[in-house]
Amino acid sequence: MDKLKIAIQKSGRLSEKSLELLRECGIKISKGSQTLKTNSSNFPIEVLFLRDDDIPQYVEQNVADIGILGENEVWEKNRKVETIRKLGFGNCRLSLAIPKDENYTGISYFNNKKVATSYPKILSEFCAENNLYVEIEEISGSVEIAPSIGLAHGIFDIVSTGSTLLMNGLKEVETVTKSEAILIKSENLSHEKQKILEKLLFRIQAVIYSRE
Ligand code: PRT
Ligand code: ZN
């Protein structure tokens, strides 16, 4: 019998909650710290543990059939995948922030400024919609340090509690969008896999309702 291949984050903010969701769906999964792939003993599913950034590509290419990841990664990667539903965890916002002592005058503040981010596509779309000319400095991590080392005037990054901004002497001035964990699927699933997915979705629905 076919197995539905699901990609989840290997280690990071969404890992535990993704596994917990599957387990609450009654799906038995055993995972060691080095496991990259495992089969459930009681549901036709195979779990692949991957970096969240790679999940959209793998789902587009049918290496995985479905995946759990932050909506922000789907927007940024722009791969051909279908969003099935929001999952109610991993909530955050994507915001612009500047040094706390700067006088913020509205979004035109960012005109002709340098902004550091790991999400250049989402930021450039926001700038285009608002007729802003911003020099986007793409960096892969520790974005919050960019203004204090003179790399950029501001940053565009994920915020949840705001404490990282605070610790780095920054203030959030614009919330561009909000994101949470979502379930995505490949655009071409076999009939058999679609049936397994429907069964899984039915259980996810029940788990999420019971949490509310
Ligand atoms: O290794 P891999 O590539 O898989 O992991 P990663 O380091 O890229 O991702 P990870 O685990 O940090 O985040 C996975 C997903 O969790 C993100 O894509 C978001 O959808 C979601 N998420 C929710 C967050 C946060 N909250 C969050 N707070 N992702 C990152 N952060 C970081 C943020 O970048 C910033 O540095 O936490 C810091 C801010 O947090 P606060 O609480 O201080 O505001
Ligand atoms: Zn990542």
User: What CATH number is associated with residue 174?
Assistant: 3.40.190.10
| Residue pLDDT, tens place only, 187-198 | 999 999 999 999
| Measured distance CA(82)–CA(84) in Å, rounded | 6
Domain that holds residue 123: 92-179
- Residue 51 Cβ inside 6 Å of ligand 1? The answer reads yes
| Residue pLDDT, tens place only, 49-79 | 999 999 999 999 999 999 999 999 999 999 9
Residues 112 and 13 in one domain: no
AA identity, residue 28: K
- Residue 73 Cβ inside 6 Å of ligand 1? The answer reads yes
Residues 130 and 205 in one domain: no
Say yes or no to pLDDT of 158 above 80. yes
Say yes or no to pLDDT of 212 above 90. no
Residues 75 and 108 in one domain: no
The three-point CA angle 14-56-54 to 5° equals 70
Residues 96 and 130 in one domain: yes
Residues 18 and 80 in one domain: yes
90 Cα: distance to centroid of ligand 1 (angstroms)? 8
| Measured distance CA(92)–CA(160) in Å, rounded | 5
ipTM over 0.95: yes
Ion ligand 2: residues, CB < 5 A: 52-53
Residues 67 and 23 in one domain: yes
Residues 86 and 188 in one domain: yes
| Residue pLDDT, tens place only, 173-190 | 999 999 999 999 999 999
Number of separate domains in the chain: 2
Residues 20 and 81 in one domain: yes
C-alpha dihedral (159, 163, 165, 170), degrees to nearest 10:
130
Residues 161 and 197 in one domain: no
| Residue pLDDT, tens place only, 142-152 | 999 999 999 99
